Amino acid sequence: MKGRGVPIAIVLLLVVAAVATALADRSSTRWRVPEGRSEVVFWHFWGGKDRPVVEAIAERFNASQDKFFVRPIAMPGNNLDLKFFLSVAGEDPPDVVNQDDPIVADWAQRGAITPLDELATADEIEQLSGWLFPAAREVGSYQGRLYALCNGLDIRALYYNARVLEEHGLSPPRTLAELDAAALAIAPPAPSGPHERFGYLPDPRRIWSWGIVFGGRFYDPETERVTADDERIVAALDWMASYSRTYGADQVARFRKGDQALPGASFPLFEGRYAMIMDGQWRVAEIAAVQAVARARGDEPPRYGVVPLPPPSKGVANAGWVNGNFFVVPRGAKNPRGAWEFMKYWSGAMGNEASAARACSAGGWIPASQSVVDHPVFQEHLRRLPLFATFVELAASPRQVPTPAVPGAQYLQDEVIRAADDAIYKLVPAREALSAATQRAQERIEAAREAR
């Protein structure tokens, strides 16, 4: 018995080695740099069904090129920041990174990324600032200088289940009062037992949207003060917490937490657990998929619609919080020229609208510029998915505001969400929660500003 074990082990090892070699070989031929071209190492966080879309864009770019060759590397989204930082600190960064967290100011402040005016000509920079949507420009700027090139915006609006609203004789809400009335009509507060369905429930993360819809701003660049305790933001959070007071904080918590992260068919709007829910444009394609499945089964497809966030009486229409995907070039990148070419190709800048329109249609992203929106390829996409149009219109609005571009912005963003958590789940008074968050964030921002 003893003697037989050794050959078996050797055979097993050989098999494992053969499989590993075969796999490694397959991936290396796909992204092997052709003779005479320089490699552009590209880090991104897209996985799952998005990853092939991203790789197809890289392949199209590579086919269009005779100088550069992009090799995309998928990184888990949670730790991309960390890996990026370690790579810059260790002086071996990639050539270009795509991100969507509010880190431009932090990274720029610490000299971890290259300002775009060092990569592009003065002409190109001038052209860019008029070409980008205001929100896309703001997402990539720090202290008036462009550090990141936005290639897609994420916009949020209110989705609704048309059938449920009709059953209750309601139309899609245009004001906050209508939203409240609809939510109460669909799910009257009942002392007996938990609800199976809610009309609407606010998610703590959405304080960033509602604060802006209520007319507030989280930071004042003039005075360099955090203003998350602004009266209008307090009013917004107090309104959000009113749902916890109506239904009970624990009920709201068990229904709400983690809901929005649920992908595809498990999205609670599709499961009928909400009549209205705030989310981003990526659900449009999922709605189409759900409807297609129903049609294929011979059922009547469910009907969903989308409206801009309904403002309160003194609030702001077509407003909200916006973030975006953007490219940055790390300091010490070996191939910044190639990185810049790839960035232009994907985002659509400098006459690349056709490639950007194709990328945005395939990935379900909102272009960073009106001229990409106007491209026939993207217009065709809009015809196919009409719900997308609401988001594209909102993207052009200057009332779509990103997280302030200050060092420590990530801390500010999280701290405000934690305050909303406290107000909604623990019923801490909105003013108290936001004042504490404002103070802490201000301290951190001042400390971060000292870093050089």
Partner 1 sequence: MIHRRQLRSTATAASFLAPWLVGLLLLVVYPFVASLLWSFTSYDMLSPPRPVGGVNYTRLAEELWTGQRFGLAVWNTLYFAALSVPLSITLGILLAVMLSWNVRGRAVYRTLFFLPSVVPAVASSILWLWLLNPQSGLVNYLLSLIGLPGPGWFNSTAEAAWVPGWFSGRGGFGSKDALVLMSLWGVGNFMIIYLAAIADIPQSLYEAAELDGAGRLRRFWHITLPMLSPVIFFNLVMGLIHAVQAFTQVYIVSEGSGAPAGSTLVLSLYIFLAAFKYLEMGYASAVAWTLLVITMVVTLMLFRSSRRWVYYQGARR
Summarize as ranges the residues that interact with partner 1 (CB under 8 A).
78-79, 81-82, 85-86, 88-89, 106, 110-112, 250, 253-258, 261, 273, 408, 410-411, 414, 418, 421-422, 425-426, 436, 440, 444, 447-448, 450-452
What is the smallest separation between the CB atom of 291 and partner 1, expressed in angstroms?
23
In angstroms, give the least distance from the CB of 194 to partner 1.
Answer: 8
CB 359 within 8 A of CB 365: yes
Q: How many CA atoms lie within 13 A of 384 on its CB side?
A: 14
- DSSP track, 263-293: -GGGSTTTTTSBSEEEEETTHHHHHHHHHHH
- Using DSSP's 3-state secondary structure scheme, residue 178 falls into helix
Angle formed by the axes of helices 409-425 and 430-450, nearest 10°: 170
260 versus 369: smaller Cβ distance to partner 1: 260
Which CB atom, from 24 or from 89, has the smaller least distance to partner 1? 89
- The least distance separating partner 1 from the CB of residue 440, rounded to whole angstroms, comes to 7
**Other Cβ atoms within 10 Å of 19 Cβ, number:** 10
Minimum gap (Å) between residue 56 Cβ and partner 1: 29
3-state class of 369 per DSSP?
strand
Residue with tokens 């909303």: 420
CB of 406 to partner 1, least distance (A): 13
When the beta carbons of 369 and 403 are compared against partner 1, the nearer one is 403
Cβ proximity to partner 1: between 254 and 384 the closer is 254
Instruction: Enumerate the β-bridge partners of residue 276.
Output: 160
CB neighbour burial string for 338-354, b if at least 16 within 10 angstroms, e if fewer? bbbbbbbbbbbbbebbe
Beta strands 219-220 and 96-99 are: unpaired
Tell me how far apart the terminal alpha carbons of the chain are, to the nearest angstrom: 66
Angle at 151 between CA 370 and CA 147, to 5 degrees: 110
Give the H or E element holding residue 420. Answer: helix 409-425
Nearer to partner 1, 219 or 365 (CB): 219
Q: Which is nearer to partner 1, 239 or 425 (CB)?
A: 425
* Minimum CB distance to partner 1 smaller for 197 or for 217: 197
In whole angstroms, the minimum distance from the beta carbon of 424 to partner 1 comes to 8
Residue 418: CB minimum distance to partner 1, A? 6
